[in-house]
Structures are given as structure tokens and as C-alpha cells.
Structure 1
Amino acid sequence: MMQHGFSNQSGLLIRPERQSELATSDEWWKQAVVYQIYPRSFADSNGDGIGDLRGSISKLDYLAELGVDVVW
């Protein structure tokens, strides 16, 4: 499944252009830029003051532009 430039693999969102490169190594995590999101505090999509998944998803393009390879 592809969303905002990331594909979903085992609960991780991985940029497709890095997916094959990272998949060839057992220690892919040593080469990847991994960013952990706490949805409750990361981005609020409906203005209630509490972050949510929709808000987090809306920021994936921005994270990809920053060079993030994997969202945890």
C-alpha cells in the first residue's frame, strides 16, 4: 500500500526509492533515516488539540522531503 510517497511494510512506512536498497541488508536500519511519530502529539487534523493518524498522514510528504526513509 502506497501513501504519500511511503509504502507500508510490517507496520513501518518506507520510501519506495529506498525500499530495495534497504531490503538487501540485514542491517538496513543502520543506513536508514528512521523517524518515530507519536500521533497524539505530532499533528492534529480536526482542531480538537489532540494529534491523530489523519494529521500524521498529512505530514508524510514533508517527512519524505526531509529525507526520512522510514516512519515508525
Structure 2
Amino acid sequence: MNVHAEYIVDEHLNKKSVIIPYSEWMEIVEEMEELDDIRAYDQAKQEAGDEVLDFDQAVAEIKAGKIE
């Protein structure tokens, strides 16, 4: 992923904020959501022990509040 960032700096040229195109932000959000799903799956898999959960089932259980 290519990010075209622009920085807002203070009077000492310390970076304070970043501006990126909205489309790039949406890509980042999608990637973060996917990473959250992967982490949730890994946690569900670990908590299940010997019981095997398929990814979609694990995500559904997490969304239903069955797994934190």
C-alpha cells in the first residue's frame, strides 16, 4: 500500500498531524478491520483448545458476544 502523507508541523518543525487522501484512509481502515478479525480468530482458536472453529464461525461468535 502506498500512502501519500502530508504532515502538519509546529513552529519547531516537529510533526504534529498527518493528512492522507480519504481513499488511502479507507484502505487502512479495511486492513485494520481484517487484522482485528485475524486476531479474534487466533484468540478464539486458542480458547477453543482442541475444538476446531472455522474462521467465519469464530467471527460470528465474536460479533454475537460469545467470545471476547
TM surpasses 0.5: no
Please state which structure has a larger fraction of its residues in strand: 1
- The structure with higher relative contact order (CA 8 Å, sep 6+) is 1
Tell me the TM-score range normalised by the shorter chain. Answer: under 0.3
Which has the larger Rg? 2
TM value normalised by structure 1: 0.25
TM-score, with structure 2 as normaliser = 0.25
